Structure 1
Amino acid sequence: MELHIHERGAGPRLALLIHGGMADHRTWHAVERRLVDRGYRVIAPDLRGHGLSPRGDYGPELLADDLVANLPQGADLAIGHSLGGLALSLAAARLRPRRAVYSDPGFRPGDIPPGAVAAMRAMVENADRRSVRRAGPRWSEADIDAELAGFALFDPAFLAATEESFAGDHLPAGPVVPSLVQLADPSFTITPATAGLLRQRGFEITTVPGTAHCIHRDDFEGFMASLEGWV
């Protein structure tokens, strides 16, 4: 599937930014700006069913195949949040970025609290500026704008597919490139036991204190500080 691709910057280094579920490339606006200032060219796709990308069948392998078909190999950096972290992990061996960062990644749907999908569906259906502000009290006005824009373009059928085709254990056997798993405090998607297993398998683990699932919006400076040595 041909994805909608957002690109910014003209620096000598290349970063790929993969958004999470119900969002689109605009969720990365602040991260994108900081990376461009640090000499990166940024490429950020809209996953299928999100943003301006087409709708279709849904499943983690399809998301990964789309990334491989639409993004360049050998980027200096790739960051995937939540669902985007899962898709990136399944594509990493083919995309071969020099470094990969998985921000509160959705490797194991079974680790996500019961009822989360129903709550996400209700969030999208009833979203307004006030409800998004309640969910993200520390977010900037631009973050709220981006969230509402992503909700407006999101395909609700994706959530039904999430409950069906995304079930199972997609925990990576090990990093195929140097890889950081960045966790919220507490993580929405990774239990302490799973974090320990990832560490045993060779992933570096870091936690950004006091953050919820969208670390890059809850504490942007904390998000960037935790990536020192990776960006």
Structure 2
Amino acid sequence: MTAPPRPATGEATGTLLAAGEWRLRTDDGATLALSVLDPLPGSPRATPGAEPPTVVLVHGWAAGRRVWGVVADRLIRSGHRVVSYDQRGHGASDTGDDGAPGITVDRLAADLAQVVTATATPGAILAGHSGGGFAALRLASGTDHTPARQRLGGLVLLATAAHDQDTPDSEVRMMGSAHFSRALRRPRLGRTLLRQTVGADADTPLRETNRQLFAATDPAVRAACFRSSRGMDLRAALERVTLPARVLAGDADRVIAPALGRVLAQSLPDAEWDQLPGAGHMLPLERPLPVVRAVTELAAGRRSAPAAGGGPRAGRAPS
């Protein structure tokens, strides 16, 4: 059942949003569509009387909560409470009164803070992919949004970075181009145009899901998002973040260089780094099981094992 729009009142009332589909009003008038899923009955950690750990999933730009389908399913089967939402301007969420120009990394982090406050139990794990990782990092490293930050117990950061995201003007213009949008709506051509976002082993259904998500995002929102990370450098602020973290990158990522993920892991005091062989940028679609493993191990306080198939050994990022 879908609830009517309502503000994030969890922090004020102590009542978190129950399982279901919700529309959450932000403090600046945008409406975010979100899903709250309880653990499946009989799942390993769904024990009576115990609070199931919450995982908040934050998708990247030009995607949507649909990108987390397999990840969310596996997490509720392993006993987690899972929250996913469409970032502003994506999927069923709108942009509020300011429209696409109001999209900034700070604003997306503020949206995430309201989602966390309304839904997350203490010790929640944030899993952020790409631009969703920017929002998660900004929330975790900031000095504002204290009630939300105090709910966090760990970070899983996928194909993302803390700096060097200065998208050139030509790419921003392309993201907002009507011609590019028309091309994206043609399945075969759209999949070809987005081939650099996935690894070589990505099959056609996976690539088609990626295309549909990208094509469904408003061009002005795409352009605003890719413009918003210019000048972002969170490395110094991340040195104060003591949350345990897992940082994953595909070694075939041509959108955000894996080396930037390694630098991100080095910037965090308690981070483990893993590079996934053959994977491109869309890790929630391409490698959902390593993502689930990273979340469940972090929630359980375990160190990770080496990635299957080679690549750098998982562990504390080298200094």
**Short-chain TM bin:** 0.7 to 0.9
Quick one: which amino acid aligns to residue 61 of structure 1? D
Change over 3 Å in CA distance of 1:98–1:39 after alignment to 2:
same
Question: How far, CA to CA, are the matches of 1:120 and 1:39 in structure 2?
Answer: 39
Quick one: which amino acid aligns to residue 116 of structure 2? L
Indicate whether 1:31 and 2:99 are aligned: no
Cross-structure match for 2:266:
199
Structure whose alpha-carbon radius of gyration is higher: 2
User: Aligned residues, how many?
Assistant: 230
Cross-structure match for 1:99:
154
The answer (yes or no) to whether the contact 1:111–1:190 under 8 Å persists in 2 is no
SS in 2 for 1:126: helix
Identity %: 25
Q: Counterparts in 2 of 1:1-150, with a 5 A limit?
A: 1=26, 2-10=31-39, 11=46, 12-55=52-95, 56=99, 57-72=102-117, 73=120, 74-92=122-140, 94=146, 95-96=148-149, 97-110=152-165, 116-117=171-172, 120=175, 124-127=181-184, 128-134=186-192, 135=195, 136=198, 138-139=202-203, 141=205, 144-145=208-209, 147-149=211-213
Deviation at 1:181, TM superposition (A): 1.4
Quick one: which amino acid aligns to residue 4 of structure 1? A
The answer (yes or no) to whether the contact 1:139–1:218 under 8 Å persists in 2 is no
Question: How far, CA to CA, are the matches of 1:38 and 1:147 in structure 2?
Answer: 29
SS in 2 for 1:4: strand
Question: How far, CA to CA, are the matches of 2:250 and 2:170 in structure 1?
Answer: 19
Question: How far, CA to CA, are the matches of 1:14 and 1:197 in structure 2?
Answer: 24
Q: Counterparts in 2 of 1:123-202, with a 5 A limit?
A: 124-127=181-184, 128-134=186-192, 135=195, 136=198, 138-139=202-203, 141=205, 144-145=208-209, 147-149=211-213, 151-152=215-216, 154-172=217-235, 173-174=238-239, 175-187=241-253, 188-190=255-257, 192=259, 195-196=262-263, 198-199=265-266, 201-202=268-269
Query: Is 135-144 or 32-41 further displaced after alignment?
Result: 135-144
Cross-structure match for 2:19:
none
Question: How far, CA to CA, are the matches of 1:44 and 1:20 in structure 2?
Answer: 12
Query: Is 90-99 or 26-35 further displaced after alignment?
Result: 90-99
Deviation at 1:46, TM superposition (A): 0.7
Provide, for residues 70-100 of structure 1, a one-character-per-residue CA deviation record: whole Å limited to 9, x for no partner. 2235353210000000001111254332111
Query: Is 134-143 or 201-210 further displaced after alignment?
Result: 134-143
Question: How far, CA to CA, are the matches of 1:213 and 1:85 in structure 2?
Answer: 13
Bigger RCO (CA 8 Å, 6+ sep): 1
Gaps (5+ residues) in structure 2?
1-25, 40-45, 47-51, 300-319
SS in 1 for 2:285: helix
Deviation at 1:159, TM superposition (A): 3.2
Question: How far, CA to CA, are the matches of 2:209 and 2:168 in structure 1?
Answer: 27
SS in 1 for 2:75: helix
Cross-structure match for 2:288:
220
Provide, for residues 157-213 of structure 1, a one-character-per-residue CA deviation record: whole Å limited to 9, x for no partner. 123324544211333433341111111114432452662464254232111111100
